[in-house]
Amino acid sequence: MARSDDGQVVRLEDYRPTDFLIEHVEMRFELFEGEALVETVSTLRRREGTDPARPLVLDGDALDFVSATLDGREIEAGRLEASPDRLTIHLPEATPAQSVRLAVRTRLRPEENTQLMGLYRSNGVWCTQCEAEGFRRITYFLDRPDVLATYRVRVEADRRAAPILLSNGNPVEAGVTDNGRHFTVWDDPFPKPSYLFALVAGDLDHIEEPFRTQSGREVRLAIYTEKGLSDRAGYAMDALRRSMVWDERRFGREYDLDVFNIVAVGDFNMGAMENKGLNVFNHKYVLLDPDTATDADYQGVETVIAHEYFHNWTGNRITCRDWFQLCLKEGLTVFRDQEFTSDERSRPVKRIASVHTLKSHQFPEDQGPLQHPVRPTRYREINNFYTATVYEKGAELVRMIATILGETRFRAGMDLYFERHDGDAATIEDFVRCFEEAGETDLSQFSRWYAQAGTPTLEIRESFEDGRLTLDLAQTLVPGSAGTGTAPLVIPIRFGLVDGSGRDMQAVPEAGSADVEGDVILLTEARASVVFANLPERPLVSVLRGFSAPVTLSYPQAEADRLALARLDPDPFGRWRALTDLVGERLRDAAKAGGAAGATAVDPAIVETLVRSAEDERLEPALRAQMMQLPGEAEIARLIGRDVDPERVHAVREAVLREIARVGAERLARVEATLGGDAAFSPDAANAGRRALRNALLLPLSLADASPARAARRFTEADNMTDRLAALTILAHVFPESAEADAAVDGFFRRFEGDALVMDKWFLLLATVPRPETLERVEALARHPLFRLANPNRARALIGGFATGNQRAFNRADGAGYRWVAEQLRRLDPVNPQTAARLATAFRSWRAFEPTRQAHARAALEDLAGASGLSRDLADIVARSLN
């Protein structure tokens, strides 16, 4: 049963260290069909200076207590109190000088654990997930990140059911016992918090390879998969090896154990988990081959493999003092994985992709009822704070520190952080102080970014006279639902002054201007001005290059200037930003205006620039594909902000797509011809980029044909999943009534029905057909034999795909989309509350819609809020959404 909601709130200001320290933990797992027996022996002592009368109170969650002993002796009845969610022991014998050994036994039922927190079974494989508070579902413990202990774990199971037995650290002993059973003992010498504990046991295949670190230590890398799937793990292994090399080179960080194991499982609440020496992954982020995975999947695997590996230093060696500090490890590790991808692939392409993610996930969160600061100060359910704000905005804050300090001083700050805090459970203050010291900079004002929620608006006005350019800058932060402060922030604005031939001009600020260092203006006041004098011509002002701060830009720059920047800013990110902002604003205005949405939604000059970016051979193909991409319907809705009618948004966007097709078809066909035929599939960035452009062209070309034939041909001829899925999406989404679409959707299903990861794509594809009547289709799909509510990937594909990827159908005017999703959440909640809560965030922008839809959304949420027995996870999201 899911924990039900007790309304309790945890507050940052209430933090205090534990009364007891746990130094070492010895665990023994005996795995059987139907149950698991766990013995945990903790060596603990009382912390210096604490009240000796205070008992030891250990966390539990739905635990079945068996017994407890102290230093090998029974504990008298009056000194011990056990319930499913707590174990209290009076321990006068434990003093700061004297440690005791507390042994606790619990009995678990992994097969019945559908929440996928604690110890559970996925397709017969025993595995664990402990972050944030899953360890307490395995044993009673001080289950919080500031309690660090070394672990020694013995895992025993039937040899046939589980020939592979894994846990954290290094394997130190193995052997057979009686009745066909065997065991392995694992020793992890690095003190770690309980959330990094892991165990896996099962009949698994694997691939392995040796790795030699820069200092010459030998490490055995292995990736384990379900039977018959290990031949799809090769790319993940390659990504792991490259991550290890990169972290040595870029941050001087070396791996520290003798083995590094990764296990891929099919039932997992999120992407992956960085358990020390034993990462557990959603198989979506490990298993790939060209026939079943797209380029986006390859990129996703590379990113997540890198991210989890990088956690070994930023998260594991240095962990968080408490869960309010989550961005300390998550924001920093996202920053590190973004840098890895930038170095391995293309920096501008990666930056554009990251900014796209930020704007489509974090901005709506920051602008709606689920708003919270990067470092929250209160929570009811910590699992609901693994958010885009903590991860993506958290990464932006690290990036701003890097921008402000410059590369050398930033690296010095990171070095100091690793040196000073290795082995610590640290805070954001600890982290920031390292950059203040190493960078000799005061970051106290900067630190407001961690505390103040919301997306600041950066206003810019420009004027030019007699060779002098004046930029008037202003920042505002409106109070949002989080109710945090609105004081001025430190906003680094990377910029360039571009001349008519596309070169950056010398930009020397006049005395008295706001702070300018090199190509970065530092705005620290509510308003400030910068003057650049002696300019030979009026420049095109390129601002927020590299998206140097997570702000909303309000800059009524002349359309001609913006189009010119889109064509000739020497900074490729600047080109993309100029164009995407302009297109977004025009789509927003057209969808807001009452008139008919037609070809006139945007200026012909804008359409021309979009077509021209596809043609521009100075840009790499992946970037050309990004330049052509129109903002999605949800993004346009966000730009409108209130009273949104999703039907109008859809119509306006469609009209522009058709206009691009009408004006550009011939030229775009020529671009396609230059991209050449298909060599054998290779997942590298250059090849993926060419496929991305080719597939981006398929939509306007098909629209121009007004026929599914071209996509049908691409679908049939495709020799890889990227092209096949791109073609199938156009067939199913643009020509849903055609015979070609039906044939392709069925053919795809029949060919891949045995492949879970491809079937997720199939459910997602059908859930996102942008038509109101898709609702009836997903209702039927929820009864499809291959739909399994308890499998998070499948639930996310169908319910999540519909609610977040289908603006028209989810936000149907009759409210039926909201009601259906709410009903699915209610069904899912008792099975898997964490996934239910995550899917419920799809309602986060409900107040932006016009009154009828708002009323329907509110009713659906209120209905849900009133349901009895809701989990704390779901109740928290629903309550905050209504707030």
Q: Which residues have a catalytic role annotated?
A: 308
Backbone angles phi, psi at 578, to 5 degrees: -60, -45
DSSP state of 53: T
Residues 542 and 581: beta-carbon distance below 8 Å = no
Shortest distance in whole angstroms from residue 131 CB to ligand B3K: 4
Q: Nearer to ligand B3K by C-beta: 193 or 683?
A: 193
Q: Nearer to ligand B3K by C-beta: 320 or 528?
A: 320
Q: Which does 832 bind (CB under 5 to 8 A by kind): Zn ion, ligand B3K, none?
A: none
Q: Which does 548 bind (CB under 5 to 8 A by kind): ligand B3K, Zn ion, none?
A: none
Regarding 873 and contact with ligand B3K (CB under 6 A), the answer is: no
The DSSP annotation for 518-577 comes to TTEEEE-SSEEEEEE---SSPPEEEESGGG-S--EEE----HHHHHHHHHH-SSHHHHHH
- Tell which positions 332-371 bind Zn ion, by CB under 5 A: 333
Radius of gyration of the chain (CA): 28
Widest Cα–Cα separation across the chain: 92
4-17 in b/e form (b: 16+ CB < 10 A) is ebeeeebeeeeeee
Q: Which of 192, 307, 356, 562 binds ligand B3K (CB under 6 A)?
A: 307
Regarding 877 and contact with ligand B3K (CB under 6 A), the answer is: no
DSSP state of 391: I
Regarding 237 and contact with ligand B3K (CB under 6 A), the answer is: no
The DSSP annotation for 820-840 comes to HHHHHHHHHTTT-HHHHHHHH
Shortest distance in whole angstroms from residue 395 CB to Zn ion: 10
Burial class (CB in 10 A: 0-12, 13-18, 19+), 680: exposed
Q: Which does 519 bind (CB under 5 to 8 A by kind): ligand B3K, Zn ion, none?
A: none
Q: Which does 350 bind (CB under 5 to 8 A by kind): ligand B3K, Zn ion, none?
A: none
Shortest distance in whole angstroms from residue 195 CB to ligand B3K: 8
Regarding 322 and contact with ligand B3K (CB under 6 A), the answer is: no
Regarding 381 and contact with ligand B3K (CB under 6 A), the answer is: no
DSSP state of 619: S
Q: Which does 270 bind (CB under 5 to 8 A by kind): Zn ion, ligand B3K, none?
A: ligand B3K
Q: Is the peptide bond before 68 cis (omega within 30 degrees of 0)?
A: no
Round to whole Å and give the CA distance between 231 and 158: 26
Q: Which of 273, 591, 704, 711 binds ligand B3K (CB under 6 A)?
A: 273
Residues 529 and 513: beta-carbon distance below 8 Å = yes
Q: Nearer to ligand B3K by C-beta: 311 or 653?
A: 311
Shortest distance in whole angstroms from residue 145 CB to ligand B3K: 11
- Token pair in block for residue 680: 């054998």
Shortest distance in whole angstroms from residue 303 CB to ligand B3K: 11
Q: Nearer to Zn ion by C-beta: 388 or 758?
A: 388
Shortest distance in whole angstroms from residue 478 CB to Zn ion: 30
- Tell which positions 87-146 bind ligand B3K, by CB under 6 A: 131-132
Regarding 591 and contact with ligand B3K (CB under 6 A), the answer is: no
DSSP state of 676: -
Backbone angles phi, psi at 310, to 5 degrees: -65, -25
Residues 160 and 203: beta-carbon distance below 8 Å = yes
Q: Nearer to ligand B3K by C-beta: 376 or 770?
A: 376
Q: Nearer to ligand B3K by C-beta: 309 or 363?
A: 309
Q: Nearer to ligand B3K by C-beta: 285 or 576?
A: 285
Q: Which of 297, 322, 330, 561 binds ligand B3K (CB under 6 A)?
A: 330
Question: Could you tell me which stretch among 81-89, 307-315, 446-454, 471-479 binds ligand B3K (CB under 6 A)?
Answer: 307-315
Question: Could you tell me which stretch among 254-262, 266-274, 483-491, 598-606 binds ligand B3K (CB under 6 A)?
Answer: 266-274
The DSSP annotation for 751-772 comes to HHTT-HHHHHHHHHHHHT-SST
Q: Which of 386, 547, 787, 846 binds ligand B3K (CB under 6 A)?
A: 386
Which strand (E) or helix (H) includes residue 37?
Answer: strand 35-46
Question: Could you tell me which stretch among 152-160, 268-276, 620-628, 764-772 binds ligand B3K (CB under 6 A)?
Answer: 268-276
Number of residues that bind ligand B3K (CB under 6 A): 12
Regarding 762 and contact with ligand B3K (CB under 6 A), the answer is: no
Q: Which does 808 bind (CB under 5 to 8 A by kind): ligand B3K, Zn ion, none?
A: none
Q: Which of 115, 325, 383, 548 binds ligand B3K (CB under 6 A)?
A: 383
Which strand (E) or helix (H) includes residue 355?
Answer: helix 347-357
Pairing outcome for strands 491-498 and 515-517: unpaired
Q: Which does 762 bind (CB under 5 to 8 A by kind): Zn ion, ligand B3K, none?
A: none
Shortest distance in whole angstroms from residue 385 CB to ligand B3K: 9
Shortest distance in whole angstroms from residue 392 CB to Zn ion: 12
Shortest distance in whole angstroms from residue 330 CB to Zn ion: 5
Q: Nearer to Zn ion by C-beta: 279 or 333?
A: 333
Q: Nearer to ligand B3K by C-beta: 387 or 824?
A: 387
Q: Which of 5, 26, 308, 659 binds ligand B3K (CB under 6 A)?
A: 308
Regarding 247 and contact with ligand B3K (CB under 6 A), the answer is: no
Q: Nearer to ligand B3K by C-beta: 150 or 279?
A: 279
- Tell which positions 314-333 bind Zn ion, by CB under 5 A: 330, 333
- Tell which positions 136-175 bind ligand B3K, by CB under 6 A: none
Q: Nearer to ligand B3K by C-beta: 132 or 521?
A: 132
Q: Which does 131 bind (CB under 5 to 8 A by kind): Zn ion, ligand B3K, none?
A: ligand B3K
Q: Which does 89 bind (CB under 5 to 8 A by kind): ligand B3K, Zn ion, none?
A: none
Shortest distance in whole angstroms from residue 310 CB to ligand B3K: 9
Shortest distance in whole angstroms from residue 243 CB to ligand B3K: 13
Which strand (E) or helix (H) includes residue 852?
Answer: helix 851-866
Shortest distance in whole angstroms from residue 332 CB to Zn ion: 9
Shortest distance in whole angstroms from residue 873 CB to ligand B3K: 10
Residue with tokens 């809560």: 837
Round to whole Å and give the CA distance between 349 and 351: 5
Q: Nearer to ligand B3K by C-beta: 134 or 546?
A: 134
Amino acid at 255: Y
114-141 in b/e form (b: 16+ CB < 10 A) is bbbbbbbbbeebbbbbbbbbbbbbbbbb
* Total residues belonging to the chain: 883
Closest CA to 373 of 466, 475, 447, 298: 447
**3-state secondary structure at position 462:** strand
Round to whole Å and give the CA distance between 644 and 642: 5
Regarding 270 and contact with ligand B3K (CB under 6 A), the answer is: yes
Closest CA to 474 of 427, 514, 525: 525
Residues 44 and 56: beta-carbon distance below 8 Å = yes
The DSSP annotation for 689-743 comes to HHHHHHHHHHHHHHHHHTSSHHHHHHHHH--SHHHHHHHHHHHHHHSTTSHHHHH
Q: Which of 59, 143, 267, 274 binds ligand B3K (CB under 6 A)?
A: 274
- Within 675-684, residue ranges assigned H as helices are none
Q: Nearer to ligand B3K by C-beta: 196 or 725?
A: 196
Regarding 702 and contact with ligand B3K (CB under 6 A), the answer is: no
Which strand (E) or helix (H) includes residue 662?
Answer: helix 646-674
DSSP E strands in 368-519: the ranges are 378-379, 425-426, 457-465, 468-476, 491-498, 515-517
Amino acid at 831: V
Kindly list the residues in this chain that would bind ligand B3K in the complex (CB under 6 A): 131-132, 270, 272-274, 307-308, 311, 330, 383, 386
Kindly list the residues in this chain that would bind Zn ion in the complex (CB under 5 A): 330, 333
